[in-house]
A and B are shown apart, each in its own frame.
Chain A
Amino acid sequence: MSKQQQRGKQETASEDRSTEWVGERVNSYDGSRFVSGHGRYVDDIQRPDMLHAYFVRSQFSHAKVLDVDTSEAEAQPGVELVWTHDDIADQVNEPFGYMLNDEEVLASDRVTYAGQEIAVVVADDRDTAQDAADLVDVEYERLDTVTTVEEALEDDAPLVHPDLDADPENDTDGNVAWTGQVEVGNYEDPLADADVVVEETFDTNKTTPAPMEPHGCIADYNPATGKVELVSSTQMPHLLSVELSEVLTEFEQRDITCKLPDVGGGFGIKLDPYPFEICSVLLSKATQRPVKHVLDRLEEFTAGRGRAPETLEGKIGVTEDGDIVGLDVDLLQNTGAAAAYGVAVAYSSANCGQGPYLIPNQHWRTKVVYTNEMPTTAVRGFGDPQVTFMREQLIEMAAEEIGMDAVELRLQNSPRQEDMPMRSDAGHIWRNADQITCLEKTREMINWDEHRGGSKTRDGKLRGVGMGTIMKRGGNKSASGGDFDEAVVKMNRHGDVTVLTAIASIGQGTETGINQMVADTLGVPIDRVDAVRGDTDATPEGLGVWADRGTIIGGSAAARAAEELADTLKAVAGHMLEVDPDDLRLEGGRAFVADDPETGMELDELANVAMLGNPETLGTEAERPEELRGGISLVGRGKYQSQEVEFVDPETGRGNVAHSYTFGALAIVVDVDPGTGEIDVVDVAICEDVGNVINPTLVEGQVQGAIIQGLGEALYEEYVYDRNGNLMNGSMIDYHLPTAADVPLVTKIEELENPDPTTSHGQKGVGECPLVPTPAALANAVYDATGIRFTELPLAPHYVLPALDEAGLREI
């Protein structure tokens, strides 16, 4: 399909409906509650007679658990139960895990990271539970610890999971949890055609996205029905009930109602089914009382999961003329003590590791490796930030090597919009994206030519500019078996609209965009649309928010549901007004003839007539058109099932791993202080092709937030473990998150709107993308400023200053 055809299709689709709301800066749906303190996060919810749970966590990163003495804790006034692994063993399928079965709910006889759950106390209040947890006496026998991939891969390394055959279909041993590969073109010798090969090894950092609200839930079991209601701070209410039912032997999916409270951020780490959720369900069943379990920040740091550090040994091959011919990469992921989403992170990011380039020959070899550290999992970017940190630095190194400008090299190797749709080298289906303009606009906004080459500022700082690029997945089905969402849009007799959707709201604003689309389709004011999200008893099936899928998949489903309701409304109005329903338009709270706006009726009157369905107003059923007989339902149903996304081929690693891809480029200007090693990000510019923008304000908010989250990870943040696997900086005091005074304003944002022809409004994924190129662009800018290639994250002063010193650049 040519570009023009795609656009034509898009315009036809949008002609039928109002465009009053989509594309506008509508205020966020939840915002008025949040600014006034009337949000309801899980810890804000009280239930009568509620108990509170608290974990006993491992003090050691690797040990045998010889004995757990709970007697003193159990004797405390107010303590209801203290459970160890034995107490739940027959109620759970263990080991469990998202992709590999490598987790226990409570440790049975071994602990594999400091912070792992060993026992759970439930008591009348949280302080009592916490104090009692201190009284649980755990007898350990210390085992040797591995904290790095290098150690873990040594022949005589202590084994994190000696008894585990976590992935029987995968030929792995030792501490290797999973291996995979991507083979493209002449993968056996991918650099054969290169005139110049540049190679380097990169090490990324372990981080947490640190959503402001910790994980937490309330489980409320009903003994009469045998069902449990779980209010949990999650990104995937429906999938959570699926996953929990697989762990809990006595609960089917239908027995677990997951409901969303307000969720104070997620960023990926609220996807896994966690021990706190599993234990709460079982404790509520045992006590027949509601059980609340909210983690504290220190537990978040030690057990809340985060981004996997990766070692990437990369080689890129280019011709003298600047064609990228090959990429050869060994990717080692330190996944921690459990793989969680780590396997998907590894193969998705390797599959997409070529980025927004044409690279005909590639060979990626990936290993997911266990260590005695906190498990890692999905985090915004899902492996792409790590891979991009390597690729974009290799590209700027190669450009320098052949004496070519780094943006020109990128332009030369980028796919052209006019060639789309197309299959990329690794099998992605690329549709209607203008990467060339993204690169050119970014170069222009950041004043690339002025800064490039490095300079010294008047106050003695070293200034430089660097770039990174985006080719980020939107939607995915490796987690869920398919990529789909259903939606219901219903109207009451007053014409008020409610959207029922399985997406979750974690701050990104998906529900606001959905409401805008629905409001336009039905022609109602935005304040007449409400959203019910993530209540597995009420909302139709769907998968939640991750992989930038909410607006593209969930939004397209809701748009279809609204279309069905709109058709019904038009049919009723056409019958009432004695006009052809196809001539009607819904807009401004009215249904009217498009060519004769005076002929119409108010939507609330229409809703009332349709809801009551009386023969006095509509005539007998025999007098009505076919579709208005047998009950007029003001419920619209819609489903969107991606027909594009593929399971990647396990042999070659190729395939269209996502529904769609968002392209873009980001550039950063830095000032490096030669006295302190501090890096001041003085300018950021980004241009992305996000398809049609549903809400510019919310898109900007996602872009700004993602960039700053990426800068925090690139400049300050890192998990620091000692040799024994103890986390040294597990608090917000010692793990340095950026404040408003540490990071720049991000205002140079350009969004290209080349629509994706497969989604309801041409929308593409947005939320994760801008984080992806940020660490890479930063490192490239620092190289431009200093001539020092930083291959490890973060670029904190305590790493930068010694390097400046070594290079003779340090000043006082």
Chain B
Amino acid sequence: MSTETKPSERVTVETTLNGTEVEQTVPAGTLLSAFLRNHEYLTGTHRGCETAKCGACTVLVDGDPVKSCNMLAAQVDGATVTTVEGLADGEDLHPVQQAFWDCHGSQCGYCTPGFVTNVVALLEDNPDPSVEEIRSHLTGNICRCTGYTKIIESVQEAAARMDGDGK
């Protein structure tokens, strides 16, 4: 982990990304979303709104869901970052991913990575959320296709399958 005590135009970011140590030196103004997409080629993290509203770019930083278009890559130096690509175990989908597929919680798929990562975090904290808890947890993610009903059912199904395991 590096410290810049003078304002610097380039920063070196060392992070554990989807379980792998990565180190990249990038312009200081690089957004985390751009770092992931353009520098690490993890294009599952989507840009939807440019205004930190829609949540399509949600990733987990040290386990917490954040909007990666609203953080600098520099801020994840020393942190653990998990994107939607990092959730599956090889070819086995994460239970949340599998539930979104099985329950049709994804139509065009553009918002899906943001929802999936956010829900993984929700179920870590609250393995058996109520419908109201799910709805209020998801206000930072916009979906235009599903009308949310099947997303909420996907979360419930994932919770049931994980059976309080949170993993």
User: Total interface residues on B, using CB and 8 Å?
Assistant: 55
Question: How many angstroms from the CA of A651 to the CA of B87 in the assembled complex?
Answer: 60
User: Which residue from chain B places its CB closest to the CB of A40 in the assembled complex?
Assistant: B43
Chain B residues within 8 Å of A706, by CB:
147
Which residue in B37, B41, B84, B138 is a CB contact (below 8 Å) of A740?
A: B138
Do A746 and B144 form a contact, CB below 8 Å, given A27-B101, A740-B138?
A: no
Those of A700-757 within 8 Å (CB) of chain B: 700-701, 704-709, 731-733, 737, 739-741, 743, 745-747
Those of B60-99 within 8 Å (CB) of chain A: 83-85, 87-88, 93, 97-98
B52 CB → nearest A CB, Å: 8
Those of B102-140 within 8 Å (CB) of chain A: 102, 104, 106-113, 116, 131, 134-136, 138-140
- Residue interface bits A266-299, CB-to-B below 8 A is 1, else 0: 0100000000000000000000000000001110
Query: Residue A265 at the B interface, CB < 8 A?
Result: yes
Chain A residues within 8 Å of B45, by CB:
37
One of A68-76, A113-121, A205-213 contacting the partner: A205-213
Query: Residue A509 at the B interface, CB < 8 A?
Result: yes
Question: How many angstroms from the CA of A737 to the CA of B55 in the assembled complex?
Answer: 13
Question: How many angstroms from the CA of A72 to the CA of B109 in the assembled complex?
Answer: 41
A35 contacts B149, CB within 8 Å? no
Question: How many angstroms from the CA of A197 to the CA of B155 in the assembled complex?
Answer: 51
Which residue in B98, B140, B148 is a CB contact (below 8 Å) of A708?
A: B148
B147 contacts A707, CB within 8 Å? yes
Chain B residues within 8 Å of A506, by CB:
108
Chain A residues within 8 Å of B104, by CB:
27-28, 31, 697-698, 700-701
Find the residue from B45, B107, B111, B138 having the highest chain A CB count within 10 A. B107
Chain A residues within 8 Å of B143, by CB:
212, 740
Chain B residues within 8 Å of A602, by CB:
none
Chain B residues within 8 Å of A265, by CB:
107-108, 110, 144-145
Which residue in A27, A708, A733, A743 is a CB contact (below 8 Å) of B51?
A: A733
Those of A169-221 within 8 Å (CB) of chain B: 209-214
B109 contacts A30, CB within 8 Å? yes
Query: Residue A508 at the B interface, CB < 8 A?
Result: yes
Query: Residue A458 at the B interface, CB < 8 A?
Result: no
User: Which residue from chain B places its CB closest to the CB of A509 in the assembled complex?
Assistant: B107
A212 contacts B51, CB within 8 Å? no
Question: How many angstroms from the CA of A746 to the CA of B53 in the assembled complex?
Answer: 24
Query: Residue B151 at the A interface, CB < 8 A?
Result: yes
A32 contacts B109, CB within 8 Å? no
Do A35 and B151 form a contact, CB below 8 Å, given A265-B144, A508-B107, A701-B146?
A: no
Question: How many angstroms from the CA of A746 to the CA of B84 in the assembled complex?
Answer: 28
Question: How many angstroms from the CA of A508 to the CA of B152 in the assembled complex?
Answer: 18
Chain A residues within 8 Å of B37, by CB:
44
A379 CB → nearest B CB, Å: 12
Which residue in B85, B108, B152 is a CB contact (below 8 Å) of A507?
A: B108
Query: Residue A263 at the B interface, CB < 8 A?
Result: yes
Do A297 and B48 form a contact, CB below 8 Å, given A28-B104, A31-B101, A747-B149?
A: yes
Which residue in B56, B134, B148 is a CB contact (below 8 Å) of A743?
A: B148
Question: How many angstroms from the CA of A705 to the CA of B56 in the assembled complex?
Answer: 18
Chain A residues within 8 Å of B146, by CB:
701, 704-705, 708
User: Which residue from chain B places its CB closest to the CB of A506 in the assembled complex?
Assistant: B108
Those of A540-581 within 8 Å (CB) of chain B: none
A171 CB → nearest B CB, Å: 40
A211 contacts B108, CB within 8 Å? yes
A212 contacts B131, CB within 8 Å? no
Do A212 and B44 form a contact, CB below 8 Å, given A35-B93, A264-B109, A740-B151?
A: no
User: Which residue from chain A places its CB closest to the CB of B154 in the assembled complex?
Assistant: A35
A705 contacts B49, CB within 8 Å? no
Chain B residues within 8 Å of A39, by CB:
44, 109-110, 112
B150 CB → nearest A CB, Å: 6
A296 contacts B50, CB within 8 Å? yes
B135 contacts A34, CB within 8 Å? no
Question: How many angstroms from the CA of A733 to the CA of B54 in the assembled complex?
Answer: 9
Q: Is the interface of A mostly helix, strand, loop or mixed?
A: loop
Question: How many angstroms from the CA of A222 to the CA of B66 in the assembled complex?
Answer: 42
Question: How many angstroms from the CA of A126 to the CA of B116 in the assembled complex?
Answer: 29
Chain A residues within 8 Å of B151, by CB:
740
Chain A residues within 8 Å of B148, by CB:
704, 708, 739-740, 743, 745
Question: How many angstroms from the CA of A33 to the CA of B91 in the assembled complex?
Answer: 11
Which residue in B49, B84, B135 is a CB contact (below 8 Å) of A731?
A: B49
Do A212 and B142 form a contact, CB below 8 Å, given A34-B106, A740-B152?
A: yes
Chain A residues within 8 Å of B46, by CB:
41, 212-213, 264
Chain B residues within 8 Å of A27, by CB:
101-102, 104
Question: How many angstroms from the CA of A746 to the CA of B146 in the assembled complex?
Answer: 10
Query: Residue B42 at the A interface, CB < 8 A?
Result: yes
Query: Residue A798 at the B interface, CB < 8 A?
Result: no
B9 CB → nearest A CB, Å: 14
B101 contacts A746, CB within 8 Å? no
Question: How many angstroms from the CA of A741 to the CA of B37 in the assembled complex?
Answer: 30
A41 contacts B51, CB within 8 Å? no
B142 contacts A737, CB within 8 Å? yes
Query: Residue A617 at the B interface, CB < 8 A?
Result: no
User: Which residue from chain A places its CB closest to the CB of B84 in the assembled complex?
Assistant: A37
Do A739 and B142 form a contact, CB below 8 Å, given A37-B45, A212-B108?
A: yes
User: Which residue from chain B places its CB closest to the CB of A707 in the assembled complex?
Assistant: B147
Chain B residues within 8 Å of A297, by CB:
48-51, 54
B50 contacts A298, CB within 8 Å? yes
B144 contacts A704, CB within 8 Å? no
A35 contacts B108, CB within 8 Å? no
Query: Residue A38 at the B interface, CB < 8 A?
Result: yes
Question: How many angstroms from the CA of A743 to the CA of B141 in the assembled complex?
Answer: 14
A33 contacts B150, CB within 8 Å? no
Query: Residue B35 at the A interface, CB < 8 A?
Result: no
Chain B residues within 8 Å of A264, by CB:
46, 108-111
Question: How many angstroms from the CA of A325 to the CA of B84 in the assembled complex?
Answer: 58
Those of A25-60 within 8 Å (CB) of chain B: 27-28, 30-41, 43-44, 46
B145 contacts A33, CB within 8 Å? no
Chain A residues within 8 Å of B106, by CB:
28, 31, 34-35
Which residue in B54, B56, B107, B109 is a CB contact (below 8 Å) of A33?
A: B109
B135 CB → nearest A CB, Å: 4
**Can you report 17 residue pairs joining A to B where beta carbons are below 8 Å apart?**
A31-B106, A35-B106, A35-B109, A36-B87, A37-B44, A37-B45, A37-B85, A39-B109, A39-B110, A264-B110, A297-B54, A708-B146, A708-B149, A731-B50, A739-B140, A739-B142, A740-B139
Nearest first, the 10 closest Cβ-Cβ pairs linking A and B are A37-B44, A507-B108, A34-B109, A264-B110, A708-B147, A37-B84, A507-B107, A44-B43, A704-B147, A212-B110
Question: B residues near A, CB below 8 A?
Answer: 37, 41-51, 53-54, 56, 83-85, 87-88, 93, 97-98, 100-102, 104, 106-113, 116, 131, 134-136, 138-152
Known: A35-B93, A212-B46. 9 other contacts (CB 8 A): A36-B84, A46-B41, A212-B48, A212-B145, A700-B150, A705-B145, A731-B49, A739-B142, A740-B152
